[in-house]
Amino acid sequence: MTKPISIYELEGAPNQFFSPFCWASKFAIAHKEIPIDTIRWKFKEGDKIAFSNQGLVPVIVDPNQDGKWVNDSWAIAKYLEETYPDRPSLFGGPQGEAAALFVQKWWLNGPVVTLMKVVMLDLLNAQTPDLQPWFRETREAKFGKLEEFATGAAGVPEFQKALEPLRQTLKEYSHLGGKNGPSYADHYIASFFMLAYAISPVKLLEKDDVMYAWRERMMSAYSGMGRNAVGHPESL
Ligand SMILES: N[C@@H](CCC(=O)N[C@@H](CS)C(=O)NCC(=O)O)C(=O)O
């Protein structure tokens, strides 16, 4: 029997899991029909993952492979695909693997910034008071003064506009993985909606948007892993 894969997962308040990269890996593990064992991890707990020679989560540890560890969400997806080829595929083959990486790069280089503008102050406020100065300093190094970068709900139209290529695709296919269900590209994008769900009350999508129905499908997938998470139902 396949033993659960452990994942070091970022937790803010109790059961508040807001790391998109951790969510992407959790969706991918669930897609491979492998149980997940979450090891709660807080910002600045680098010592707990020092064995991986770096300081970011997700890190997974696979007891089915002599406790092999892998860090970085993309490396984890590729590891799962290579190690569990007989389980449902994350990429649908080598062509799909490159396409999934493209989706990820496109997302990180464009829409994600518009999303971060919407949720940034909620994300800051989600941090415990002791972590807020550090969180602000590290994020301001990247985005500039947070109060100037952040838009809150006023930035939703810009985010929705950035979703247009996804929207046009999801008008033709139920998922980025095609007509038969989600692939890793879906997991990756959905993971950022899980970030928003975990920390922000802002409504990101209108009910008549195909993206809304897709997000519903993704939240219900894998026994409702997303829907059962602690978050803001009023944001849906
Ligand atoms: N490229 C990495 C990014 C991982 C990452 O940035 N993780 C964040 C959590 S969302 C982290 O561990 N941050 C710890 C820190 O900033 O000290 C991946 O895809 O896994």
Contact at 8 Å (CB) between 183 and 99?
no
CATH number of the CATH domain containing 171: 1.20.1050.10
Q: How many helices (H) and strands (E) does the chain have?
A: 10, 4
- Give, in degrees to the nearest 5, the angle at Cα 173 between 168 and 175: 100
Q: Which of 64, 83, 102 is the last residue of a domain?
A: 83
All residues at 6 or more sequence positions from 6 whose CB lies less than 8 Å from its CB, including other chains: 37, 38, 39, 60, 61, 62, 63
pLDDT number for residue 6: 98
For residue 10, how far is its CA from the centre of ligand 1 (angstroms)? 9
Q: Which two tokens stand for residue 16?
A: 């508040």
Q: What is the pLDDT of residue 45?
A: 97
* Same domain membership, residue 198 and residue 147: yes
pLDDT score at 115 = 98
Name the stretches of the chain with pLDDT < 50: none
- CA angle, 63 then 100 then 192, to 5°: 80
Residue 152: predicted pLDDT: 98
Query: What was the pLDDT predicted at 96?
Result: 95
Under a CB-based contact definition with an 8 Å cutoff, are residues 203 and 236 in contact? yes
Where is the domain boundary, 38, 64, 83? Answer: 83
> Among 9, 21, 54, which is best to mutate for testing ligand 1, by the most ligand atoms less than 8 A from CB?
21
- Please state the atom number of ligand 1 nearest to the C-alpha of residue 76: 20
Residue with the two structure tokens 């990429």: 91
pLDDT for position 212: 98
User: Last residue of a domain, which of 83, 111, 132?
Assistant: 83
Query: Tell me, what's the pLDDT at 91?
Result: 98
User: What pLDDT, on the 0 to 100 scale, is given for residue 16?
Assistant: 96
Verify whether ligand 1 is closer than 6 Å to residue 55 (CB atom).
yes
Domain match, 107 and 218 both: yes
